[in-house]
Structure 1
Amino acid sequence: MQARQVQIMTEGDHACSPRSLLRLQSWLSPAFPNGAYSYSHGLEWAADTGHVVDRNSLVDWLEADLRYGSGRNEAIFFSEAYRCAVEEDLTGLAQVAELAAAFRATSEFALEASQQAAASLGMLRQVWPDPILDVLSETEVPPVLAVVLGARSARERSPLRLALPAFLLAYVANLVTAGVRLIPLGQTDGQFAIAELEQAVLSACAQDERATLDDLGSAGLMVEFASIAHETQYTRLFRS
């Protein structure tokens, strides 16, 4: 394990090229057509029932998810997929993809993960093709977005110390955008919320970029309960 960590640090500690940075920004942009804007990750139910009512409660909800819930697990899957791609461990990558797909606590989360990943995988294969994407497209179960972007970022030689926080910030920024519509909040409060979540993103990255599959787990049960309840919510703007 120590030798593996040294290898990853060596591979990922180079300077990020301008082209790699541009591509990472493209893949994490709201303009990238993976349908992320249509999912609230259970936040719609939390807003509807009064658990999230303002900027402070929105930040608390998302910070808990990042530190203790599904956001933390997504960071681990991203890092593991990145490592497998760097090491050209295709068997390991397929195993990570299978575990990540199975690691969905609710049917809503499974839909959210698989549809975004399928859209991203298809677009990446057309516009930014790479053999690692062919491997992921042939796995027995559909991969999730964290695995697709983690592996592709590694092939682009984007350092993990930059790619992982960018991925997590895009994850929470998409949910802040949902919160702006649901609570509702103004655009300025939305940007304040993203700024307030920066430290949570960096803290999660510092912990999870060194984590392994043995560290997977969640104490963010309220997010999962919200997803379950959202499935039968009477009126919905979002798909999850």
Structure 2
Amino acid sequence: MTDENPEYSALAFIRLLSWLSPSFPNGAYSYSHGLEWAVEAGYISDRRSLIEWLEADLCYGSGRNEAIFFIEAYRCVTEAAENQLPHLAELAAASRGTSEFALEAAQQSSAYLTTLRRAWPDRVLDIFSDPKCPPVSAVLLGVCSARSQIPVGIALPAFLHSYVANLVSAGVRLVPLGQTDGQFAIAALEQAILSRSEIATRETVDDLGSAGVMAELASIAHELQYTRLFRS
């Protein structure tokens, strides 16, 4: 998929910044996506190991699938196939590999939907009121980006950047790292974000899959971790 119309309004850009802002009330700050256990177990101990862990998740694990769900939701809107969104959302919700990942995704997504419907009401969001169509953050943001005519070449990298930045923030608190180290980590992941975004534009749900085994094992172990700061 390419950006046929690279021009979009300043208003749409501001909306994208709002949706992906750390201040958006979706509770993302309270989840570590298994990082908390990975730090305790010694798999992540410094900036370099944090970057390697997150790059693997982005390119081969959960981040990879999130990019595909985002692009497929974007396509559903641009190709006037909104009737396919319930099936896509159901598939995305069912793709979580652990109970903690499922809780993390469900609670953040529900919070996303509530705020989006109140602050940026759109008829297409009514689709996700059906219990058979669970809200999923990647699907919601793919839909809203397409509805606001934000080019996918901007929207998808921004979404993945937000995904990574939230986990870097968790890593900064857990390792712990300094704020500057956190920015170095985000900078080091820029090319992975752009590469994953570009590849995702050529993929469909048929390409879904994950080799992020360690992230899922970390999530399973985190559920039984004795001392926890994060919910996942």
TM range (shorter): over 0.9
Counterpart among 171, 175, 191 of residue 179 in structure 1: 171
| Shift of residue 137, structure 1, vs aligned partner | 2.2
| Shift of residue 195, structure 1, vs aligned partner | 0.4
Note if contact 2:127-2:133 (Cα within 8 Å) is conserved in structure 1. no
Structure 1: where are the runs of 5+ without partners? none
Counterpart among 22, 28, 33 of residue 20 in structure 2: 28
Q: SS where residue 185 of structure 1 aligns?
A: coil
Note if contact 1:79-1:150 (Cα within 8 Å) is conserved in structure 2. yes
Equivalent-residue separation in structure 2 for 1:192 and 1:151 (angstroms): 31
Is the deviation greater in 53-62 or in 200-209?
200-209
Equivalent-residue separation in structure 1 for 2:145 and 2:106 (angstroms): 19
**Match for residue 88 of structure 1?**
80
For residues 186-215 of structure 1, give each alpha carbon's deviation from its aligned partner in whole angstroms, at most 9, with x where no partner exists: 000000000000011001001012210000
Counterpart among 134, 140, 143 of residue 142 in structure 1: 134
Note if contact 1:98-1:139 (Cα within 8 Å) is conserved in structure 2. no
Q: Does 1:116 align with 2:108?
A: yes
**Match for residue 222 of structure 1?**
214
Runs of 4+ more than 6 Å apart: none
Q: Which amino acid aligns with 1:228?
A: I
**Match for residue 156 of structure 1?**
148
Note if contact 2:71-2:142 (Cα within 8 Å) is conserved in structure 1. yes
Equivalent-residue separation in structure 1 for 2:36 and 2:133 (angstroms): 28
For residues 97-146 of structure 1, give each alpha carbon's deviation from its aligned partner in whole angstroms, at most 9, with x where no partner exists: 01000000001011111111100100000000101111122251422110
**Match for residue 58 of structure 1?**
50
Note if contact 2:37-2:221 (Cα within 8 Å) is conserved in structure 1. yes
Counterpart among 70, 90, 100 of residue 98 in structure 1: 90
Q: SS where residue 231 of structure 2 aligns?
A: coil
Q: Give the number of equivalent residue pairs.
A: 232
Structure 2: where are the runs of 5+ without partners? none
For residues 146-185 of structure 1, give each alpha carbon's deviation from its aligned partner in whole angstroms, at most 9, with x where no partner exists: 0111111110111111000000000000000000000000
TM-score, reference length from structure 1: 0.94
Q: Does 1:39 align with 2:39?
A: no
| Shift of residue 89, structure 1, vs aligned partner | 1.3
**Match for residue 170 of structure 1?**
162
Q: SS where residue 220 of structure 2 aligns?
A: helix
TM-score, reference length from structure 2: 0.97
**Match for residue 77 of structure 1?**
69
